[in-house]
Amino acid sequence: MSVTTTNEPVLPEVKMHLVRPKEPVTAVITKNEPCTNGRKTATFVRHIEFDVSGTPLEGECLVGQSVGVVAPGEDARGRPHQVRLYSLASATAGEDGAGKILSTTVKRTIDEHWETGELFLGVASNYLCNLKPGDEMQVCGPSGKRFLLPTDSNAHDYLFCATGTGIAPFRGMVRELLAGGCSRRITLVMGSPYATDLLYHDEFTQFAAAHDNFTYMTAISREANTGPDGAVLGPMYVQDRVRADFDALQPQLESDANLIYICGIAGMELGIFQEMAKRMSEPALEGYLAIDPEAKVNIDEWTRKMLNRQVKHTRRVMLEVYA
């Protein structure tokens, strides 16, 4: 649920479910490579590109949307595997500039069953990560009509906040904005447990060096970080980076043209909202959040249950979080 405010973004019309899960189309893998910041990482995440030429998906997927993947085989009950949605990491023009080659970001799911201690491998994630160029996979979609860039990219500034594979849509959005000549402020805050877990790090670093209007910040939760003055700080999450660099972020946050996009693990949005509520001026804050008077008394006590009830975001905030 969201509430209305001024200067809301005008989002494009989208086409959804052009390909249904029960009648998926065939895509061909063109690239599958690691996208972590180093070979020795705590997680295994891969950038996967696939060709949808000749299918209804060609040229019809907007940046910020998702596609569904249908893994082969059956589950333990003998039923076909459920469709898994993956955010596109490519711009609307795709990796090839013609909307034929799309991409996504996939983390291998590797865990243990709590009760038995037996190894658990995520079906779709490991299937995708094992595919090689030339292999085929079954896809459907697209999905999503809210987590999109506005029709007029130069009408807004952008603050993107991501954790883990939540970076996928922002890779596509940053590429689309910069390639399209957007001159507005674009800030990306990427959170990860270790520096080696940062995704597309070299790419974003290069973008920041080449474009004065793009700022790239990181928040490492299990290692030391560097403050805006160069001082060594302790471990931090995305909301901690917002707090540490608030002086730099404040002009953008206080602008009524700014939009906030948050994608990643559920709970990160709460911390970000708390930092905003503590530090922003009341008029500017109202552009993003409608807060009940009772909730304003003790911001540190906010819980996720209060979101969309006592703390409601406006249409200038785009959320895509997952458990």
The residues annotated with a catalytic role in the active site are: 86-87, 263, 320, 322
d(CA 256, CA 109): 40
Q: Report whether 108 contacts 280 (CB < 8 A).
A: no
- 231 close to 129: Cβ distance less than 8 angstroms: no
For residue 111, give both structure tokens.
Answer: 């865990």
- φ/ψ region of 59 (left if φ > 0, alpha if ψ in -120 to 50, else beta) reads left
CA distance 145 to 170: 16
If residue 128 lies in a helix (H) or strand (E), which one and from where to where? helix 123-130
Do 30 and 50 meet the contact criterion of CB atoms below 8 Å apart?
yes
215 phi and psi, to 5 degrees?
A: -120, 130
Cis check for the bond before 133: say yes or no (omega within 30 of 0): no
SS3 37: coil
CA 283 from centroid of its chain's CA atoms: 27
- Phi and psi at 173, nearest 5°, equal -70, -45
* DSSP H helical ranges for 158-262: 168-179, 201-210, 238-244, 246-254
What strands, in cross-sheet order, belong to the sheet with 2-3? 2-3, 311-314, 289-291
CA torsion, points 51, 57, 61, 65, in degrees to nearest 10?
Answer: -90
Rounded Cα distance, 218 and 88, in Å: 21
For the chain, the C-alpha Rg in angstroms (whole number) is 20
Residue 266: CB atoms within 10 A of its CB come to: 13
